[in-house]
Amino acid sequence: MAGETKTHEGGCMCGSVRYRLQGPFTYSAHCHCRSCQRAAGAGYVTYSAVAPENFKVIEGEMTTYHSSPGVNRGFCNKCGTSLSYSGDDWTDYAIMTATLDDPGAAVPTTNAYTKDKQPWVTLDESLKNYHEFP
Ligand SMILES: [Zn+2]
Ligand SMILES: [Zn+2]
């Protein structure tokens, strides 16, 4: 229902780190940049974001890796699952959509950094596609 306050939970593979999101998603997007590819060991990473105050770790502790100055990549130091992306220049707090208990809850609308897209990844042309950051 529109305007309804939604709560979503998610976590890492081993269950040590659990988080909760409150409120609406501010965006959902696939990022094809090389940094995301390496961080996740995958062709691209799908993010969904909320306002920073709507993100909370509710169990365990997230470890942070600074992949670029001012950028925080959160992960579980027991199982290695990539969990989040945030930074000094980012108004939203992004989580890896696939770590949600219900990953279908956020539907990606955008591809970012298609300049780094791997040749074996096919873009959904119905989405908004950006060469770099939108
Ligand atoms: Zn874990
Ligand atoms: Zn990226």
Domain ranges of the chain: 14-129
**CA 92–ligand 2 middle distance (angstroms):** 14
User: What ligand is nearest to the CA atom of residue 74?
Assistant: 1
**Averaged pLDDT, 71-84:** 97
The dihedrals phi and psi of 38, each to the nearest 5 degrees, come to -70, -45
pLDDT band at 5 (very low <50, low <70, confident <90, very high): low
In whole angstroms, how far apart are CA 71 and each of 6, 47, 64, 128?
27, 15, 9, 24
Is the separation of the CB atoms in 28 and 127 below 8 Å?
no
Segment 6-51, tens digit of pLDDT: 899 999 999 999 999 998 999 999 999 999 999 999 999 999 999 9
Residue type, 28: S
pLDDT of residue 4: 57
Q: Which ligand approaches the C-alpha of residue 85 most closely? A: 2
The top-level CATH class assigned to 14-129 is: alpha beta
Q: Cβ distance 94 to 133 under 8 Å?
A: no
**The pLDDT of residue 1:** 45
